[in-house]
Structure 1
Amino acid sequence: MSDKRRKGVAIVDTDKGILVVAGRGKRFILPGGGAEKWESRKKATIRELYEETGLKTKNIVYLFRYVGSKWHAHGGKSIRNYAKVFLVESEGNPKPRHEIKYIAFWKTGSNLNLTGGTKKVIEKYLRDYKQ
C-alpha cells in the first residue's frame, strides 16, 4: 500500500525547448510538486513553478492526468504521485531557486538525464497535444 500524493506538473514549452529542472543529482524533471491539503493541483503548479524557477504564470491549461510509479521517501514510506499536467505560458527568465540547482531545456534528441516519469509525460504531450 502506498500513500497518494497529489501533484501539479508544468509543461513550459518554449522556443528553446521544454523547461526541465534538477537538484544536485542532475536528474531532470518537469517543474511542479505536491499540493497542500487546501490547494488545488493547478494552484500547486503555479506556486511550485514560481518557487523553483521564479517564473510567473500568464496562462495555464489542464492537459491530462498521470499516475507515477511508486517511490520511497526518506524514512521508507512508499508514495505514488497522482499528477495533473498543465501547459503553462510564463513570463520571466528561469533561475534555479530553493531545491533546484539546474535549469535546462529539453528537445527531441537531447541527452539530458530525465526521470522515467518525466519522459512519459513529455512523450504523451508531444504525441497527443503538440500541434
Structure 2
Amino acid sequence: MKRQRATIIVELDGGILLVENRGGLVLLPGGGLHADESRLQAAARELAEETRLVAQSLLFLFEHESATNRHSVFWAAASGTALAGDDATALHRFVAGDTALNGRMSLASQQIIERFLELPRDASGVPGLPGSGHGPLQA
C-alpha cells in the first residue's frame, strides 16, 4: 500500500514554492498523514512545519500516484514569511521555463506541477476544475 501524502502548492512571488530536504532533493511542501488527521489537516500542518506559512484557505485539486506515494494535492492561499523549517533545509521557487532546478526536483513534484499548470483558473486566479462548484476550504 502506498503512503498517503498531503502535497501543497503555494504560489509566491510569481512562482511555486518548493522545499529542499536534507538529501538535497527539491520537492513540493508536504508529508505523510498522522493517524488522527485528515488530508486537509495534514496539508495545513506540513505547510506550517516546512515553510512557516499559515494556510488561510486550502483547495483540494487532485490525487496523484507516484511510485511510492498517493498524493492528495492542495492549493494554498497562505500568509506569513516563508522560512525553511522542520525537515526542509532551504526554500526554492519554481518558475515555468527555468531550468535551474533540473535534476534536483523529484519526478512526482515535476508531474504534479505540470498538471497544476494545466488547470483552468477563475477570474481571481484561483485554480479549479470547470463546473466543480468547489471553492477554497478554510484551514
The TM-score with structure 2 as length reference comes to: 0.80
Residue number in structure 2 paired with 1:49 = 47
Aligned to 1:107: 95
The structure whose RCO (Cα within 8 Å, separation 6+) is larger is 1
Identity of aligned pairs, percent? 32
> Pairwise CA RMSD of aligned residues?
1.3
Q: Which residue of 1 aligns with 2:111?
A: 120
Match of 1:93 among 72, 81, 92: 81
Aligned to 1:65: 63
Separation of aligned partners in 2, 1:55 and 1:35: 18
User: SS state of the match for residue 38, structure 1?
Assistant: coil
Aligned to 1:23: 21
Equivalent runs, 1:5-24 vs 2, <5 Å? 5-24=3-22
Gaps in structure 1 of 5+ consecutive residues: 70-79
How far is 1:51 from its partner? 0.6
User: TM-score, length-normalised on structure 1?
Assistant: 0.85
Residue by residue, what CA displacement relative to the aligned partner does 1:19-76 show, whole Å, maximum 9, x if unpaired? 000123332100010001111111101001101111000111000001111xxxxxxx
Structure 2 counterpart of 1:72: none
Tell me how far apart the structure 2 counterparts of residues 12 and 59 of structure 1 sit (CA, whole Å): 11
**2:131 counterpart residue number:** none
Corresponding letter in the other structure for 2:41: K
Task: Kindly indicate whether the alpha-carbon contact (under 8 Å) linking 1:23 and 1:102 is maintained by their aligned counterparts in 2.
Answer: yes
- The alignment covers a number of residue pairs equal to 119
Give yes or no for contact 1:26–1:102 (8 Å, CA) kept in 2: no
* Structure 2 unaligned spans of 5+: 126-139
Q: What SS does the corresponding residue of 1:36 show, helix, strand or coil?
A: coil
